[in-house]
Amino acid sequence: MHPTPKSWDDSTITAAWIGHATVLINFFGTRIITDPVFSERIGIKLLGAFPVGPKRLVAPALSIDELPPIDLILLSHAHMDHLDFPSLRRFNKNIPMVVAKNTKDLLVDRGWKEIHELDWGERLDVAGVRLEALRVRHFGWRFPWESDRSRGDWNGRSFNAYLITKNDKNIVFGGDTAYQEYFKTLAERNIPIDLAILPIGAYDPWIHVHANPEQTVAMANHMSARTILPIHWNTFTLSYEPQNEPIERLKKALAQHSPSLALENIGETWKISQ
């Protein structure tokens, strides 16, 4: 499936799943891309030239050259399947970028003009939207020897979800997380979530850092989300569950709960229903 962002209407919200945690969003004319990863393979480079790591199972729904002009890049954390240098270097360095606390150091020497670090609970107005960094349950180190908040070091690498707000509409980009109840604070604040972009894969055996589909539905209900757009599955082999198991389990779980399913295939497009 091939999204057609040139035809999208700036007077509403449209989103397409490009693959893994990469989602292209037109939020009332603000064009956002999340965790842009377009590489054929992710991981470290052997001898600085050949990447060693998981290979894509499904090609990105759009190439970088096919993207519309981007107004904002959101990075949830520093993992190589979310922060991919070969992909990022192909974007215009004038695009504002928002990253998790203690992650900016990876990017400051790579030509970016505007990088904002957001800690949990901090807010920022940028590119016509308001952002708030949300706490999740994950880990932030890019390499095992790095300091990390999940190990109790508050000054270590962090990891975010984001609340994105414009024109009284709200999207949550969940990044990557295990099951947690921090999203309940959104419902407690009476913030209606129109779209929850949430991870559903890589839980076997990594359930301590990745939610399974039933847990993802529970987190969507914690924030009273109207619609789920599932990510973080069917792109790279990062765990042992069968390739299609996450979406099959998600659909079964959603059959008994209120959120609707935005889409289920890479390349599909969702548009908010008025």
User: How far are the Cα atoms of 99, 177, 246 from residue 102, in angstroms, in the given order?
Assistant: 8, 18, 31
Residue 38 corresponds to which tokens in the numbers above? Answer: 């377009």
Single-letter amino acid code for the residue at 259: P
pLDDT of residue 67: 98
Spatial distance between the Cα atoms of 95 and 92, rounded to a whole number of angstroms:
6
pLDDT of residue 256: 74
Do 185 and 136 contact (CB within 8 A), yes or no?
no
pLDDT of residue 47: 62
Residue 273 corresponds to which tokens in the numbers above? Answer: 């229903």
Name the packing angle between helices 245-254 and 213-222 (round to 10°).
40
Number of CB atoms found within 10 A of residue 44's CB: 12
Spatial distance between the Cα atoms of 98 and 121, rounded to a whole number of angstroms:
14
Taking alpha carbons only, the member of 180, 212, 160, 209 closest to residue 34 is 160
Place of tokens 């107004």: 71
Spatial distance between the Cα atoms of 180 and 199, rounded to a whole number of angstroms:
13
pTM strictly above 0.85: yes
Walk along the chain (274 residues) and give the pLDDT tens digit of each residue: 899 999 999 999 999 999 999 999 999 999 999 999 999 999 877 766 667 789 999 999 999 999 999 999 999 999 999 999 999 999 999 999 999 999 999 999 999 999 999 999 999 999 999 999 999 999 999 999 999 999 988 899 999 999 999 999 999 999 999 999 999 999 999 999 999 999 999 999 999 999 999 999 999 999 999 999 999 999 999 999 999 999 999 999 999 767 999 999 999 999 998 5
Superfamily of domain 10-271: Ribonuclease Z/Hydroxyacylglutathione hydrolase-like (3.60.15.10)
Output the CA torsion sign for 123, 170, 1, 127.
negative
pLDDT of residue 42: 92
Domain spans in the chain, listed from the N-terminal domain onward: 10-271
Q: Which residues are within 8 A (CB) of 233 and not within 5 positions of it... i.e. 6 or more apart?
A: 199, 200, 201, 202, 243, 246, 247
